[in-house]
Structure 1
Amino acid sequence: MTQNTELAQVEAQVEAHSASLKKELGVRDLALTQILFIIGLTWIGVAGKLGPSHVVMWLLAIVLFYLPMSAVVIYLNKLMPLEGGLYQWAKIGFNSTVGFLVAWNLWLYVIVFTSEIGLQAATYLSYALGPRAAWITSSNWFIALASAVILTLMAVAATIGLSVGKWVHNTGGVFMLIIFGILIGLPFIGLASGHLTEFHPFRTKLPEFSLLNLNLLGKMGFGALGGFEYIAILAGETRAPARAMRKSVFIAAPLIAIMFILGTATVVAYVPTNDIDLIGPMPQVLRAGFGPFGIAGPLVTIAILMTLAMRLGQVSVTFTAVTRLPMVAGWDRLLPPWFSQLHARYRTPVNSVAVVAVSSFCLSLLSLIGVGRAEAFQLLFNAGGIFYALTYLVMFSIPIFGLRSVTPRPPLWLRLASWSGLLMTLLYVTLSVFPIIKVASVGVFAFKVASLIVVMNLVGVGVLVAARRRSQRFEQGA
């Protein structure tokens, strides 16, 4: 593939900045991190709402979104294996404005995603400790304290860097494989012991055509299966990033698909559709499945605590990677150089780490004001997902509309795959302003989500305009 001179120059500039970063990641690290990052524990609960028709919906999501996403990510990362990942792809594929807004929405997504961790930690602990601990899920002070402690630990780990962080992520990936192995094996144990009368993991009942099912399809496509591009943010800290990313996708992709389908089948087998807990479906089904066994109590507690550890690992992945985005934006003078300053010993963007941690904690406090537990979670969940989805609209648009100065053009099959992913992501964005749980007012809920998306992107535009004016004054003064 031949590239024009401008592209080569941009890549050379980014690689020069990346030279000071430590190259800690290999294929194994990427594959385990992708399994950890993509397997969202809530999605087996969301898909479980479909009952026996979940298999057909998972297959549709895989064909229409998962496979196209994998192909586009491999193509773009091979062309531009640069620190900053999708930010760099958007900047080179379109322009610096699009690149900045992609980074801004990714940053907002992580702020929202990490702000949920106190609420989710309380939910998992309540399942692990049993009925006597049910109070902690409705205790605002406990949730706030949990958020503060966890985010502080995340900031410390991100500051030390991937020499430590990769082992946190690898351990989380191994835990994910173990827990899903237990989850997938649970119905067979139930059948053998007589506690489960039947189990049909591959029942292919056709789903009804409805707005709710379209909403769920979008969530099971982009929401559940998206994420392969995220680890590319750390390309500058990866050994042979183009080759490593491609191999890790080939390893992780089939495992993730199998885990989602069979994991959802276990939820459907043990929990009535209307009773599925969308915040903590994994501990819910483990307790339901192991409950009939007299010695299952301690085993369930251990499994639930491992699940909580996985969730913390997922937050660590998102937290660590997103702290690199202000750093690379600082390289391009789209943010003050303060964001690009590296720790003298660990060579990590310590100032960016602090900003992400403080912002996430502040949002976690705001989300607890004035709404119930489930509605607070759903509001954050929907808004964060839309921030992330907006970046995917750009990613899928790059092979279709971008890269005008690069020859040869992306092949036709890749552009068709990009259209499929683009339309699935649009479906997700359009329907995610509406909740899939009962709330006090659907209209007010949708207004809150849409307003948050618009206002925060306008703030991003303001930050970009201010940065450009500051850069112009700097150049004039020089």
Structure 2
Amino acid sequence: MNGDKPYLKRVLGFRDLSFFLIAALVNLNSVPVVASAGPVALILWLSGFVFFFIPQAIAVLEFSKRSPHEGGIYNWNKAAWGDFHGFISGWAYWVNNIFYIPTLLFYIIGFLAYIIGNSTSSLSSSPVLMMSISLGLLWILTYLNIRGFGVGKWVQNLGASGTFITASTILVIGIITASTKGSSVTFSMSSVFSSLDNWTFLSLLSVVCLNYVGLELGSVIADEVKEPQKNIPKAVLVAGTSTILMFLVVTTALLISIPFEEIGIIEGILQGIERAAEAIGIGWIVFPVAVFMIMNAAGNTSAWLSGAARIPFVIGIDRYLPSALGTVHPKHNTPHVALIVQGVASSFVIIVAAIGSSVGDMYMFLLQTTVVLQLIPYVYMFAALIKVRSTYGKSGGFFSNKFVTVIAGFIGGGMTIFGIAFAFVPSANISAILVYEIKLVFSCVSFLIPAFVFYRINLRKLKVSEVIN
């Protein structure tokens, strides 16, 4: 302990932080959702990278230099807009992950079905089975992260390694398939623009934005990073470059290997690999790739599970959430209460999502709810980037040129707002549109209302405490 402030161990070096960010950012399992749009998917990835990811990187570099402390985006928004808006952005960031973590668990289950065999093909089409296994996996990962980054980081490191191996394998299969069997899709301007006449593809733009969030996690866990002002910028560069390359490579290889109309949104990558591998006589490779995909999904889940829990931990220290959330484990020096509460909340979401839904609708509902809640803090962050730079100038910042940060704020903020709006556009994968829209609106509103209640109650308690003391 350091006074009354909870003490967190600095255990993540440059390599560990780079792997942590790659594990969080590169969710290969979501590639089929975007690739199902066809060749236009490549334009979506590039557009998201230019108009969202790069502005995000600029914001993270600028703010992490000015304030390299635990809490990251929550503290940035609080400093720029005040305690209330900081709390709302931090709440949305955390609650989003309560939804997002279950979607990642669904991927792991889908890949387990491939590994175990065809006798379990009903696994990825049964909401009850998906729910039961998801709950088990959730609490295993929660326990590992309660043990601390000294243990949990190996899940993320293995996840990043599995990501690189999987992407490389898919690239090789795509090249062999294209050279021996030909591509299942024609990459041309006409094939790209032919997809634009169906406006539902715009809903995928929000999914692309979601896949590009995560660079700020290095700052969210800053008090557990060695030399954060030095290592966070370097890790951001490595993770950012790796992210765009792997998304483009895997999407292209998947489109080559299987007609995009037949790509499944949950097990699509393995589906494409299996078909392509059998066609070129290496069907045996599906099993090891499935194992690596599980590593990728587990690392992705663990990174977000551990990183997101630091937000209620810091808010608990500020006393705008119950102070118990701001405590650390006496042995492992981790925010164990925040992790447990997050696990309980995600368990509730998994159970609710399984009610009255097909697995496909269940997955898309969770994914788009995640998009809306995740992007709210980014609206604040990009606006804060403009405000902070205009107010304080370059002193203490990363960039000497004001133009870079202001333009990044406007472009990133605009793209974020579009991403939120497009999340309410049902994709072609949705079978019950009305039910989907009602559940999406209800979920977003119902998880934001408690934020106002918690803030008002705890603000009143703080004022009373100040008067007494």
Specify if TM > 0.5.
yes
> How many residue pairs are counted as aligned between the two chains?
460
Q: Deviations over 1:41-97 (max 9, x none)?
A: 244213323323333333222222222111111111111111011011111121111
In the alignment, is residue 59 of structure 1 matched against residue 50 of structure 2? no
Q: Is the 8 A contact 1:215 1:427 kept in 2?
A: no
In the alignment, is residue 331 of structure 1 matched against residue 317 of structure 2? yes
Choose which of 352, 357, 376 in structure 1 pairs with 2:338: 352
Q: Name segments (4+ residues, structure 1) moved above 6 Å.
A: 15-19, 199-202
Where do 5+ consecutive residues of structure 1 fail to align? Answer: 1-14
Distance 1:310 1:351, change over 3 A: same
CA distance in 1, matches of 2:47, 2:450: 36
In the alignment, is residue 451 of structure 1 matched against residue 451 of structure 2? no
Where do 5+ consecutive residues of structure 2 fail to align? Answer: 396-400
Match of 1:11 in 2: none
Q: Deviations over 1:160-218 (max 9, x none)?
A: 100111121111101100110001111222245x3x22488975554336533433334
Choose which of 114, 121, 128 in structure 1 pairs with 2:115: 128
CA distance in 2, matches of 1:123, 1:454: 30
Distance 1:307 1:449, change over 3 A: same
Match of 2:356 in 1: 370
Q: What is the deviation of 1:293?
A: 5.0
CA distance in 2, matches of 1:42, 1:32: 17
What is the letter of the counterpart of residue 401 of structure 1?
Answer: K
Q: Deviations over 1:313-332 (max 9, x none)?
A: 11111111122112211221
Q: What is the deviation of 1:392?
A: 1.0
Q: Is the 8 A contact 1:27 1:247 kept in 2?
A: yes
Match of 1:275 in 2: 262
Q: What is the deviation of 1:253?
A: 1.6
In the alignment, is residue 461 of structure 1 matched against residue 446 of structure 2? no
Distance 1:93 1:180, change over 3 A: same
SS at match of 2:140: helix
In the alignment, is residue 86 of structure 1 matched against residue 73 of structure 2? yes
CA distance in 1, matches of 2:186, 2:19: 25
1:242-253 equivalences under 5 Å are 242-253=229-240
Q: Is the 8 A contact 1:175 1:307 kept in 2?
A: yes
In the alignment, is residue 399 of structure 1 matched against residue 385 of structure 2? yes
Match of 1:214 in 2: 202
Match of 2:182 in 1: 197
Match of 1:4 in 2: none
Q: What is the deviation of 1:34?
A: 1.5
> Which of 356-365 and 407-416 deviates more?
407-416
Q: What is the deviation of 1:117?
A: 4.3
Match of 1:7 in 2: none
> Which of 183-192 and 419-428 deviates more?
183-192
CA distance in 1, matches of 2:40, 2:430: 25
Percent identity, please: 22
Q: Deviations over 1:259-280 (max 9, x none)?
A: 1111111111122122111122
CA distance in 2, matches of 1:477, 1:403: 38
CA distance in 2, matches of 1:204, 1:252: 30
Q: Deviations over 1:124-152 (max 9, x none)?
A: 22222332211112334422331222122
What is the letter of the counterpart of residue 33 of structure 1?
Answer: F
Distance 1:49 1:322, change over 3 A: same
CA distance in 1, matches of 2:221, 2:380: 19
Match of 1:179 in 2: 166
Choose which of 241, 260, 267 in structure 2 pairs with 1:254: 241
Q: Is the 8 A contact 1:399 1:415 kept in 2?
A: yes
Q: Deviations over 1:304-362 (max 9, x none)?
A: 12201211111111111122112211221112221112111111111111111111112
> Which of 270-279 and 400-409 deviates more?
400-409
CA distance in 1, matches of 2:184, 2:32: 17
Choose which of 397, 411, 414 in structure 2 pairs with 1:420: 411
Match of 2:398 in 1: none
Match of 1:151 in 2: 138
CA distance in 1, matches of 2:198, 2:427: 13
> Which of 276-285 and 167-176 deviates more?
276-285
What is the letter of the counterpart of residue 439 of structure 1?
Answer: I
SS at match of 1:277: coil
Q: Is the 8 A contact 1:94 1:402 kept in 2?
A: no
In the alignment, is residue 229 of structure 1 matched against residue 216 of structure 2? yes
Q: What is the deviation of 1:438?
A: 4.1
Q: Deviations over 1:386-433 (max 9, x none)?
A: 110111111111122356753448812211111111111111100102
Distance 1:310 1:448, change over 3 A: same
Match of 2:467 in 1: 476
Q: Is the 8 A contact 1:121 1:146 kept in 2?
A: no
RMSD (Å), alpha carbons: 2.3
What is the letter of the counterpart of residue 214 of structure 1?
Answer: L
In the alignment, is residue 435 of structure 1 matched against residue 426 of structure 2? yes
What is the letter of the counterpart of residue 336 of structure 1?
Answer: P
CA distance in 2, matches of 1:27, 1:421: 27
CA distance in 1, matches of 2:187, 2:242: 16
